[in-house]
């Protein structure tokens, strides 16, 4: 194949990935819609805020990863979409809380007012809390998997990735980064915890649902961690190179806040090169799946070529 043909093939592959991302996003929206029904009663306001946070917008990359990873083991979509919805609930909760005045104090998310702007601060805190807890209700339900041991494993996986040794710990580290001034290894650890753990657990959950061996769950987790770091570096690049109209959220915030990022450490080109080498490294963890993992390979490339 000549190089133009190779480039066309690669563009086609990314096209296949993008079509599947949209299909999984639609299926995830339908699943979330069913899982978050409105109720009569005063508590309905928090459900409206949860639906506002979770239902419209977002690339749905984490749901895609849960479903695509499950597909490697022929997991029925009815099951993998529940894991996908659970991980997206955690992700949406983290965005709602991250946008609060006490954290990043953002007015814009996914091209719309943030939840505390649309509703109010107390409702936004409750909506985040409720999305967090609802994620575990979804995983613990027998509809997710008939075997209680598998459900317990999924709950433990998601709890570990979301909690103090994962996303919450990473957020705390991030809030203290100016004071701690991490070296490059520390910055990598921060970003792995804050961003990588949730991306990795989406991949791991598909494998757990499929009854994969611990080594195979780990391989998919490593793919997710490498891709997650690449994704976060790409996010930091977009913060410099993109606009709010493109990303649907404020840009230029990292430099304004004096945040430690790999863009700050390595420059734009250095950061982009690191992100691309992490994509390659992520792909290596998928070797055992051969062509069956093509969409996951493309997902890693998408993480660093996306414009929002």
- Interface residue with ligand GRG, options 95, 237, 286, 293 (CB under 6 A): 95
| Residue nearest to ligand GRG as judged by C-beta position | 58
DSSP code string of the chain: --HHHHHHHHHHHHHHHHHHHHHHHHHHHHHHHHHS---SSTTHHHHHHHHHHHHS----HHHHHHHHHHHTTT--HHHHHHHHHHHHHHHHHHHHHHTSTTTT--SEETTEE-HHHHS-HHHHHHHHHHHHHHHHHHHHSTTT-S-HHHHHHHHHHHHHHHSTTTHHHHHHHHHTHHHH---HHHHHHHHIIIIIHHHHHHHHHHHHHTT--HHHHHHHHHHHHHHHHHHHHHHHHHHHH--HHHHSS--SHHHHHT---HHHHHHHHHHHHHHHHHHHHHHHTTGGGGGGGHHHHHHHHHHHH---
Binding characters for ligand GRG, 101-140, by CB under 6 A (x = yes): ---------x------------------------------
What is the closest distance, in whole angstroms, from the C-beta atom of residue 97 to ligand GRG in the complex? 4
| Residues within window 189-228 making contact with ligand GRG, judged by CB under 6 A | 194-195
Q: Which stretch binds ligand GRG (CB under 6 A): 10-18, 143-151, 166-174, 269-277?
A: 166-174
Which residue in 71, 134, 226, 235 binds ligand GRG (CB under 6 A)? 235
Residue of 79, 82, 97, 151 interacting with ligand GRG (CB under 6 A): 97
Segment interacting with ligand GRG, rule: CB under 6 A, options 39-47, 153-161, 163-171, 256-264: 163-171
Is the distance from CB of 191 to CB of 259 less than 8 angstroms? Answer: no
Return the residue of 171, 192, 261, 298 that touches ligand GRG, per CB under 6 A.
171
Residue (29 or 94) nearer to ligand GRG, CB: 94
Q: Which is nearer to ligand GRG, 31 or 195 (CB)?
A: 195
Q: Smallest distance, Å, CB 99 to ligand GRG?
A: 8
Q: Which two tokens stand for residue 36?
A: 């978050």
**Where on the phi/psi map is residue 306: left (φ > 0), alpha (ψ -120 to 50), or beta?**
beta
Part in contact with ligand GRG (CB under 6 A); list of ranges 28-36, 117-125, 151-159, 164-172: 164-172
Selection from 148, 154, 18, 153 nearest residue 82 by Cα: 154
Residues 6 or more apart in contact with residue 117 via CB below 8 angstroms: 107
Q: Which x/- pattern over 39-68 shows residues binding ligand GRG (rule: CB under 6 A)?
A: -------------------xx-x-------
Q: Which residues pair with 74 in a beta bridge?
A: none
Q: Applying CB under 6 A, does 168 fall inside the site for ligand GRG?
A: yes
By C-beta, is 79 or 97 nearer to ligand GRG?
97
Site for ligand GRG (CB under 6 A): which residue of 89, 154, 167, 190? Answer: 167
Q: Name the minimum Å distance from CB 206 to ligand GRG.
A: 17
Cβ nearer to ligand GRG, comparing 199 with 293: 199
- Judged by the rule CB under 6 A, the positions of this chain that interact with ligand GRG are 58-59, 61, 91, 94-95, 97-98, 110, 167-168, 171, 194-195, 232, 235
């Amino acid at each position: 194949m000549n190089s133009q043909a190779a480039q066309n093939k690669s563009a086609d592959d990314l096209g296949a990935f993008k079509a599947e991302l949209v299909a999984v996003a639609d299926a995830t929206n339908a699943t979330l819609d069913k899982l978050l029904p409105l109720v009569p009663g005063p508590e309905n306001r928090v459900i409206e805020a949860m639906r506002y946070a979770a239902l419209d917008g977002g690339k749905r990359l984490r749901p895609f990863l849960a479903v695509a990873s499950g597909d490697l083991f022929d997991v029925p979509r009815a099951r993998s979409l529940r894991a996908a919805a659970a991980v997206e609930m955690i992700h949406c909760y983290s965005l709602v809380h991250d946008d609060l005045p006490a954290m990043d104090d953002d007015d814009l998310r996914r091209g719309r007012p943030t939840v505390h702007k649309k509703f109010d601060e107390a409702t936004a805190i409750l909506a985040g809390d409720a999305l967090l807890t609802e994620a575990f209700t979804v995983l613990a339900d027998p509809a997710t998997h008939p075997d209680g041991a598998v459900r317990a494993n999924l709950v433990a996986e998601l709890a570990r990735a979301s909690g103090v040794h994962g996303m919450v710990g990473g957020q705390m580290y991030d809030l203290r980064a100016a004071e701690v001034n991490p070296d490059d290894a520390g910055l990598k650890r921060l970003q792995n915890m804050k961003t990588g753990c949730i991306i990795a657990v989406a991949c791991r959950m598909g494998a757990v649902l499929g009854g994969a061996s611990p080594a195979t769950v780990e391989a998919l987790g490593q793919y997710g961690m490498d891709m997650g770091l690449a994704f976060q570096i790409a996010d930091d690049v977009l913060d410099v190179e993109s606009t709010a109209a493109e990303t649907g959220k404020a840009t230029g915030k990292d430099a304004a806040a004096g945040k430690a990022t790999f863009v700050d450490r390595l420059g734009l080109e250095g950061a982009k090169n690191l992100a691309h080498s992490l994509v390659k490294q992520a792909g290596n963890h998928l070797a055992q799946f051969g062509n069956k993992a093509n969409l996951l390979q493309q997902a890693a490339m998408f993480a660093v070529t996306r414009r929002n």
